[in-house]
Amino acid sequence: QSVLTQPPSASGTPGQGVTISCSGSSSNIGSNTVNWYQQLPGTAPKPLIYSSNQRPSGVPDRFSGSKSGTSASLAISGLQSDDEADYYCAAWDDSLNGYVFGTGTKVTVL
Amino acid sequence: EVQLVESGGGLVQPGGSLRVSCAASGFSVSSNYMNWVRQAPGKGLEWVSVIYTGGSTRYGDSVKGRFTISRDNSKNTLYLQMNSLRTEDTAVYYCARDPAGATFGDAFDIWGQGTMVTVSS
């Protein structure tokens, strides 16, 4: 069972923006940085955001991350068809002494 | 080229054992935190285990006592020994690198393509 909660789905039309939430607790998001991963259909996950709000090189600035207290968010602006994927938040959990992933959000471009 | 390639997946009966491997190229497994992450069919990602540069290890609660992570520095390869397998262990198993430096936080920057493990009678 995931300890980080995300909405199961989000959608928007091309050009619109969507925001995905990730709710945790004091032992994970509240005390550690958050990472976001994108998983395109049939492929391995790839890093999208690290240290809560940093983009790896090559990731478009349409993707942005933020964190406040025990929650985090991923914002995608200017939706494109290529953005259709599953998105996962993740963080280290000090109580579990392990890495935890969110429940995942499927983004659909209408 | 920096990459990870998993192998060793397959069909195994409940209660059986299997070892999956992850060969690294372009970097040293011993200089990074190396992880296993799994994904059951149609489900989300689940962290399984990590081995740190110093050799210490951590496991998720669902596999603790049954799975063992290790590495062979001479072969630059990561392993996951899975014993007492259950049907709920059926998943694609990915290895992933945490570069363990300030430049990437604690995110996993390189992932393998995954290897499928099916536990069924």
Average pLDDT over residues A60-87: 97
Q: Examine the pLDDT at B104 and tell me if it is beyond 90.
A: no
Average pLDDT over residues A58-63: 96
Q: Which residue out of B45, B50, B88 would a mutagenesis test of the A interface target, given it has the greatest number of A Cβ atoms within 10 Å?
A: B45
Q: Examine the pLDDT at A1 and tell me if it is beyond 70.
A: no
Record: contact B44-A2, CB cut-off 8 A: yes
Record: contact A98-B44, CB cut-off 8 A: no
Quick: pLDDT tens for B66-96. Answer: 999 999 999 999 999 999 999 999 999 999 9
In DSSP terms, B37 is beta-bridged to B47, B94
The shortest CB-CB distance from B45 to any of A46, A88, A96 is to: A88
Average pLDDT over residues A43-51: 97
Residue A12 has a pLDDT of 95
Quick: pLDDT tens for B22-33. Answer: 999 999 999 999
Would you state the structure tokens that stand for residue A16, as one six-digit string?
A: 């619109």
Q: What mean pLDDT, rounded, does chain B reach? A: 96
Residue B74 has a pLDDT of 97
Would you state the structure tokens that stand for residue B37, as one six-digit string?
A: 């992450």
| pLDDT bucket at A81, cuts 50 / 70 / 90 | very high
Residue A64 has a pLDDT of 98
Name the minimum distance, in Å, from the CA of B107 to any CA of chain A: 6
Q: Examine the pLDDT at A78 and tell me if it is beyond 90.
A: yes
The one-character DSSP state at B15 is: T
Record: contact A45-B94, CB cut-off 8 A: yes
Measured distance CA(A17)–CA(A80) in Å, rounded: 10
| Amino acid at the residue A3 | V
List the single range of A2-11, B93-102, B112-121 with lowest mean pLDDT.
B93-102
Name the minimum distance, in Å, from the CA of B117 to any CA of chain A: 15
Q: Does B47 touch chain A (CB under 8 A)?
A: yes
Measured distance CA(B61)–CA(B57) in Å, rounded: 13
Return the ∠ at Cα A106 (arms to A44 and B20), rounded to 5°. Answer: 25
Measured distance CA(A39)–CA(B104) in Å, rounded: 19
Q: Does A102 touch chain B (CB under 8 A)?
A: yes
